[in-house]
């Protein structure tokens, strides 16, 4: 994700983090790295942009790193709740003990997020592919295998327990790698850079209902191309509309028409929220449409480009899904 898109997503999501409490546990062997790889800047920027209350937890040498951060950014108020919304919590003992203390702190204060900054990029599957998103059930399946061992298994079990006890999200990201804005990307993009364990469904494409009508109209109305963004049209055809939601907020919608006679599912309308990453959202909705077409035993999924974003076919991912242009140049389809 480029810088401009990242900034747009920060602006879009910042309101959701206002007033939230977050515990960030930093492993001792990556403490000094957070000054070098930009994580310190990310932590401060997030605190200032979102008005979050961040508890920065760990064992020594976190104390000296916090002092260095304070000097580096010339914070006369220091890292206090009355200053920049960052509260240092120094914990005695080994790193695994500090993991438990950070988990207990998160539960005690009713934190919305618990973040582990560690030596690993996140949680991997048995094919050594990084898993970006896991629900509680999937995380338990990983924990029950030999895929994950040692300190990361200890952290994963704490993450599962935290989600079961009310923490909405637990994140794992690397404190070793040099990635620009890695913590910001983990929190403010749909893909992230590490692994997120969630207590509930993070993002999904689902059938719309009457409660979604206002949001569908709002998204369609952002594009003057859609001239039928009215309550009567949407409510009459609500059973054919699907919405794409992230953290329960609707970011895109589409209208799918099933032609039983031709055994085809048609994407007749598609729109996404104007300031969101258009390509990512559109492709995810196209993938959901493919899945729905297969569920309906359709032989083909078609896209009416006249009623969908024209830039949709400009994304290479659109071609990788298998869509091809038909003799009618305004219709693209995929055989299932």
The total domain count for the chain is 2
Task: Tell me: do 158 and 246 sit in the same domain.
Answer: no
Q: What is the pLDDT of residues 212-254, one digit of tens each?
A: 998 888 888 776 555 556 788 888 889 999 998 877 778 888 8
Q: What is the pLDDT of residue 163?
A: 95
Looking at 200, 229, 253, the residue that finishes a domain is 200
Residue, of 336 and 180, whose pLDDT is higher? 336
Q: What is the pLDDT of residues 304-329, one digit of tens each?
A: 777 666 556 666 767 778 888 777 66
pLDDT confidence band for 111 (50 / 70 / 90): very high
Give the CATH number of the domain where residue 38 resides: 3.40.1160.10
Q: What is the pLDDT of residue 208?
A: 92
Mean residue pLDDT of the chain comes to 80
Q: What is the largest CA-CA distance in the chain?
A: 72
Task: Tell me: do 188 and 288 sit in the same domain.
Answer: no
The pTM score is 0.72
Q: What is the pLDDT of residue 80?
A: 44
pLDDT confidence band for 7 (50 / 70 / 90): low
Segments forming the whole domain that contains residue 319: 204-335
Task: Tell me: do 147 and 7 sit in the same domain.
Answer: yes
Task: Tell me: do 38 and 153 sit in the same domain.
Answer: yes
Q: What is the mean pLDDT of residues 144-163?
A: 91
Task: Tell me: do 107 and 229 sit in the same domain.
Answer: no
pLDDT confidence band for 294 (50 / 70 / 90): very high
Looking at 166, 200, 234, the residue that finishes a domain is 200
Residue, of 17 and 130, whose pLDDT is higher? 130
Task: Tell me: do 272 and 311 sit in the same domain.
Answer: yes
Residue 79 in this model has a pLDDT that exceeds 50? no
Task: Tell me: do 191 and 315 sit in the same domain.
Answer: no
What CA–CA distance (Å, rounded) separates 283 from 287? 6
Give the CATH number of the domain where residue 311 resides: 3.40.630.30
Q: What is the pLDDT of residue 115?
A: 96
Task: Tell me: do 236 and 276 sit in the same domain.
Answer: yes
Looking at 185, 200, 215, the residue that finishes a domain is 200
Q: What is the pLDDT of residue 123?
A: 93
Task: Tell me: do 89 and 217 sit in the same domain.
Answer: no
Task: Tell me: do 47 and 156 sit in the same domain.
Answer: yes
What CA–CA distances, in Å, run from 312 to 14, 262, 264?
27, 24, 20
Task: Tell me: do 286 and 317 sit in the same domain.
Answer: yes
Task: Tell me: do 181 and 154 sit in the same domain.
Answer: yes
């Amino acid at each position: 994700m480029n810088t401009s898109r990242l900034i747009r997503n920060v602006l879009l999501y910042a309101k959701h983090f206002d007033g939230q409490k977050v515990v960030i546990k930093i492993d001792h062997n990556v403490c000094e790295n957070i000054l070098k790889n930009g994580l310190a800047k990310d932590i401060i920027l997030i605190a200032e942009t979102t008005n979050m209350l961040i508890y920065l937890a760990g064992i020594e040498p976190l104390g000296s790193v916090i002092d260095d951060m304070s000097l580096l950014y010339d914070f006369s108020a220091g890292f206090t709740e009355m200053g920049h919304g960052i509260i240092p919590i120094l914990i005695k003992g080994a790193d695994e003990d500090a993991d438990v203390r950070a988990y207990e702190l998160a539960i005690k204060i009713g934190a919305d997020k618990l973040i582990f900054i560690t030596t690993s990029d996140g949680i991997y599957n048995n094919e050594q592919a990084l898993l970006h998103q896991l629900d509680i059930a999937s995380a338990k399946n990983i924990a029950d295998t030999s895929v994950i061992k040692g300190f990361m298994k200890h952290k994963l079990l704490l993450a599962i327990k935290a989600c079961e006890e009310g923490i909405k999200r637990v994140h794992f990201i690397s404190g070793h790698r040099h990635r620009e804005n890695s913590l910001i990307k983990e929190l403010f993009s749909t893909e992230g850079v590490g692994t997120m364990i969630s207590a509930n469904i993070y993002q999904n494409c689902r059938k719309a209902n009457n409660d979604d009508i206002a949001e569908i109209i709002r998204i369609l109305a952002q594009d003057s191309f859609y001239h039928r963004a009215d309550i009567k049209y949407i409510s009459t055809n609500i059973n054919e509309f699907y919405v794409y939601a992230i953290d329960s907020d609707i970011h895109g919608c589409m209208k799918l028409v099933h032609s039983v006679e031709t055994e085809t599912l048609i994407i007749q309308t598609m729109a996404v929220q104007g300031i969101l990453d258009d390509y990512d959202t559109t492709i995810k909705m196209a993938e959901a449409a493919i899945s729905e077409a297969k569920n309906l035993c359709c032989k083909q999924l078609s896209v009416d480009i006249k009623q969908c974003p024209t830039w949709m076919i400009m994304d290479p991912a659109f071609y990788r899904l298998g869509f091809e242009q038909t003799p009618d140049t305004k219709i693209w389809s995929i055989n299932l």
